[in-house]
Amino acid sequence: MARAPMALAVLLAALLAGAAQAKNVVKFCKCTCGQNSTIIELTRFALSHLPHASEPIDVDTLMPNVCMNCTRLLCGVAEPQLCDGAATGDEIVPLCSQRDSLQDELIVCGFLLLVAGLLAWTAVRGHVKPVAERLWAQYGYAGIAQHEAD
Ligand SMILES: *[C@@H]1O[C@H](CO)[C@@H](O)[C@H](O)[C@H]1NC(C)=O
Ligand SMILES: *[C@@H]1O[C@H](CO)[C@@H](O)[C@H](O)[C@H]1NC(C)=O
C-alpha cells in the first residue's frame, strides 16, 4: 500500500523532468520570399552545415536568444536563391518558430494531471475506503435485501 504512492511519486518526478526537457526546444527560422520559403534549423550544427549558404555562418556570434538571429540577412546568406523568380518587390520575410506545439504541451499537461489525480486518489483512498465500507455495510446490504424482496 505504501509502495504505490512511492512509485507514482517517482513517475511524477520523471514526467516533470521530461516536461522540463521538452521546454528546451529547437527553434527554426522560416524565410519566405513570394512563393518560395525555406526553414532553417537554428542550431549550431545545422547553421554550420547549410547546403546552399553563400558564405559560412559564424555560429559563435549567435545571440543567446537565437530568434534574434532569424533575420533577412541570415535568410539571404542561408538561401541566396530564395528570391529568384519572385515578383519584383517581394522581399525576404523571416519568422522564428519553435518545435514544441500546443499539442505537445497539452499531452504533457494531461499526463501531469492524470498522475497528480492518481496520486491524490491513492492518498485519499485509504481514508475513504473504511468510510465507504461502513456505509455499504449499513445501507448497501439493506438496499440489496430490499431490492431482492421486490
Ligand atoms: C546574430 O545576431 C547578432 C546581433 O544582431 C550579430 O552580431 C551576429 O553576427 C548574428 N550572427 C549570425 C550568425 O547571424
Ligand atoms: C524560387 O522560385 C523560383 C520560381 O518561382 C525558382 O526558380 C527558384 O529556384 C526558387 N528558389 C528556391 C531557393 O527554391
Ligand 2: residue whose CA is nearest its atom 4: 85
Q: Which amino acid is at 72?
A: R
39 near 29, Cβ under 8 Å?
Answer: yes
Ligand number nearest CA of 81 is 2
Domain boundaries, the chain: 3-21+104-149, 26-99
Predicted local distance difference test score (pLDDT) of residue 105: 76
Residue predicted with more confidence, 48 or 134: 48
pTM comes to 0.58
Lining residues, ligand 1, CB within 6 Å: 57-58, 61-63, 68-69, 74
Instruction: For residue 19, give the nearest of 103, 116, 112 by alpha carbon.
Output: 112
Instruction: For residue 25, give the nearest of 66, 68, 70 by alpha carbon.
Output: 66
Ligand number nearest CA of 72 is 1
Q: What is the pLDDT of residues 94-134, one digit of tens each?
A: 999 987 666 677 888 888 999 999 999 988 888 877 787 88
Instruction: Give the pLDDT mean for 34-52.
Output: 94
DSSP 81: T
Q: How far apart are CA 82 and CA 74, in angstroms?
A: 12
Instruction: Give the pLDDT mean for 133-139.
Output: 81
Predicted local distance difference test score (pLDDT) of residue 93: 95
Instruction: Give the pLDDT mean for 25-49.
Output: 93
| Mean pLDDT (the chain, rounded) | 82
Lining residues, ligand 2, CB within 6 Å: 35-36, 79, 81-82, 84-85
Predicted local distance difference test score (pLDDT) of residue 12: 63
Distance 85 CA to ligand 2 centre (A): 6
Report the atom number in ligand 1 closest to the C-alpha of 77.
14
